[in-house]
Amino acid sequence: MEILYQSCCGLDVHKKMIVACLRRTDEGGKVGKQVRTFGTTTSELLSLSDWLVGADCTHVAMEATGVYWKPVYNILEGQIELLVVNAQHIKAVPGRKTDVKDAEWIAELLQHGLLKASFIPPQSQRDLRDLTRYRTTLVRERARIVNRLQKVLEDANLKLAGVATDVMGVSGRAMLEALLAGQTDTEQLAELAKGRLRKKIPQLKEALTGRVREHHRFMLSEQLSHIDYLDEAIERLVAEIGERLRPFEEEIRLLDTIPGINRQTAEELIAEIGADMSRFPDGHHLASWAGMCPGHNESGGKRKSGKTRKGNRWLRSTLVEAAHGAAHTKDTYLASQYHRLVGRRGKKRALVAVGHSLLIISHCVLKRQQAYYDLGSNYFEELHRQRMERNLVKRLENLGYKVTLEALSPAA
């Protein structure tokens, strides 16, 4: 096979050690190999960098192994062309599995140009990803604590969640604070209701009649303190993310025109895929990278499982959540697509399909710098008009009717 790189290196990265195999080709075409082992501390990684630069190494490849590749990438970035590759794409021959063999195999594949680099965003986008992903983690943690709080209320025979839509709303929080302060009069507790909840004061009196012990008060106090801490942390993250995304306000505004996508979802999309769509040839390549499109698995002319492959799980979660919102919009293409699929494919597959469409639409919106234009809820009916006419006529005929179609004359 043709040799593309005269001097390159394959790295087998682990938590405490790195095995490096340097392949160099001399003028006569003879390939030489050097294998060395380094630690993963900063000083060891700097030694690795000096060794590679001294050997005129131009390209380095390593597997995307958890987070262990990141320290290596941080040190070598900007000095040598780096390729972080999918481990599934470079599996070695079974029965020859050692760290040295892995490094040699990676280096050999790299030298012949048989490795495809994964998309690694620039440092600023990686930092933004950390912020948005941490915000998502805290929001999920807050939801878990609220659920635990409701379990404590149930244990205390308090049915507040059955009357108030949001236990942590203004009214619910005021009632909980009063309970912690020792208030046991249900009438006074119910009078703390605000807004539309005041119409349910009789139900609140019944729901707030329970058996609250000191144990329950202690648990509720700890959980409310935890929720307050999470609210403050989320608020700080929202402010920091907003500041980092100030240069992308126009892109966020354009994404916000898509049904199901609000500002927070748009921020997460920008953090995961960036605002520059030139790195993805088209929306379908982006969907494939994200793991939001059907897989290809065919053998002997038979199409087997087409389940989606593993991709960016953070982006997938964001898109499925946005698909939920888009599916409940009225008179939109995306809602029509969801209802068209959910009956025969199920809710989960329909949501993934809508998420796939959302990602392709986002690619088009960012690439063209144009707001979203909806195709309308009747797009699929108009697209297959004749087929739908035949199906409807056939269904009526099966019910025993004789059907004659006559087009309406256009209005004068």
- Kindly state whether residues 130 and 223 are assigned to the same domain: yes
Q: What six digits make up the tokens of 410?
A: 């256009």
State phi, psi for 127 to the nearest 5 degrees. -65, -40
pLDDT number for residue 412 = 44
Helix, strand or coil for residue 298?
strand
pLDDT number for residue 56 = 92
Residue with tokens 């599996």: 91
Written as one letter, the residue type at 241 is I
- Kindly state whether residues 85 and 168 are assigned to the same domain: no
Q: How far apart are alpha carbons 358 and 259 in whole angstroms?
A: 9
- Kindly state whether residues 204 and 128 are assigned to the same domain: yes
pTM, two decimal places: 0.86
Q: How far apart are alpha carbons 138 and 234 in whole angstroms?
A: 7
- Kindly state whether residues 73 and 56 are assigned to the same domain: yes
- Kindly state whether residues 253 and 396 are assigned to the same domain: yes
- Kindly state whether residues 344 and 397 are assigned to the same domain: yes
Residues of the domain holding 32: 7-111
β-partners of residue 128 are: none
End-to-end Cα separation, the chain, in angstroms:
73
Instruction: With respect to residue 289, please indicate whether it lies within any of the assigned structural domains.
Output: yes
pLDDT number for residue 92 = 62
Sign of CA dihedral 42, 67, 34, 49: negative
Among residues 388, 309, 393, 382, which one has the least CA distance to residue 352? 309
Residue with tokens 């996508």: 261
Q: How far apart are alpha carbons 355 and 368 in whole angstroms?
A: 20
Instruction: With respect to residue 303, please indicate whether it lies within any of the assigned structural domains.
Output: no
Q: How far apart are alpha carbons 138 and 356 in whole angstroms?
A: 26
- pLDDT tens digit at each of 412 positions of the chain: 788 899 999 999 999 999 999 999 887 778 899 999 999 999 999 999 999 999 999 999 999 878 899 999 999 998 999 999 988 777 766 666 788 999 999 999 999 999 988 889 999 999 999 999 999 999 999 999 999 999 999 999 999 999 998 999 999 999 999 999 988 899 999 999 999 999 999 999 999 998 999 999 999 999 999 999 999 999 999 999 999 999 999 999 999 999 999 999 999 999 999 999 998 989 999 998 898 987 777 777 777 777 787 888 999 999 999 999 999 999 999 999 999 999 988 999 999 999 999 999 999 999 999 999 999 888 887 777 888 888 889 999 999 999 888 887 665 4
User: For helices 69-76 and 42-54, what crossing angle results, to 10°?
Assistant: 50
* HSE-CB of 286 using CA atoms within 13 angstroms: 28
- Kindly state whether residues 276 and 396 are assigned to the same domain: yes
Instruction: With respect to residue 179, please indicate whether it lies within any of the assigned structural domains.
Output: yes
Q: How far apart are alpha carbons 371 and 274 in whole angstroms?
A: 17
Last residue of some domain: 111, 132, 150? 111
- Kindly state whether residues 149 and 276 are assigned to the same domain: no
Instruction: With respect to residue 88, please indicate whether it lies within any of the assigned structural domains.
Output: yes
- Kindly state whether residues 167 and 227 are assigned to the same domain: yes
Question: CB pairs under 8 A, 24+ apart, for 70-76?
Answer: 71/40, 71/42, 71/45, 72/11, 72/13, 72/18, 72/40, 72/45, 72/48, 73/120, 75/42, 75/45, 75/46, 75/48, 75/49, 76/45, 76/48, 76/49, 76/52
Q: How far apart are alpha carbons 217 and 180 in whole angstroms?
A: 6
C-alpha 60, offset from chain centre: 29
E-state strands within 29-90 = 31-39, 59-63, 81-85
Q: What six digits make up the tokens of 282?
A: 């088209």
β-partners of residue 61 are: 10, 83
Instruction: Find the CATH number of the domain harbouring 154.
Output: 1.10.287
Last residue of some domain: 79, 111, 143? 111
Q: How far apart are alpha carbons 277 and 138 in whole angstroms?
A: 29
- Kindly state whether residues 233 and 184 are assigned to the same domain: yes
pLDDT number for residue 399 = 92
- Kindly state whether residues 70 and 153 are assigned to the same domain: no
β-partners of residue 36 are: 20
Q: What six digits make up the tokens of 131?
A: 């912020």
Q: What six digits make up the tokens of 110?
A: 């790299």
Instruction: Find the CATH number of the domain harbouring 33.
Output: 3.30.420.10
CB 358 within 8 A of CB 260: yes
Instruction: With respect to residue 207, please indicate whether it lies within any of the assigned structural domains.
Output: yes
Total domain count for the chain?
Answer: 3
Q: How far apart are alpha carbons 328 and 336 in whole angstroms?
A: 10
Helix, strand or coil for residue 59?
strand
- Kindly state whether residues 103 and 155 are assigned to the same domain: no
Instruction: With respect to residue 388, please indicate whether it lies within any of the assigned structural domains.
Output: yes
CA dihedral 157, 158, 161, 162 (to 10 degrees): 70
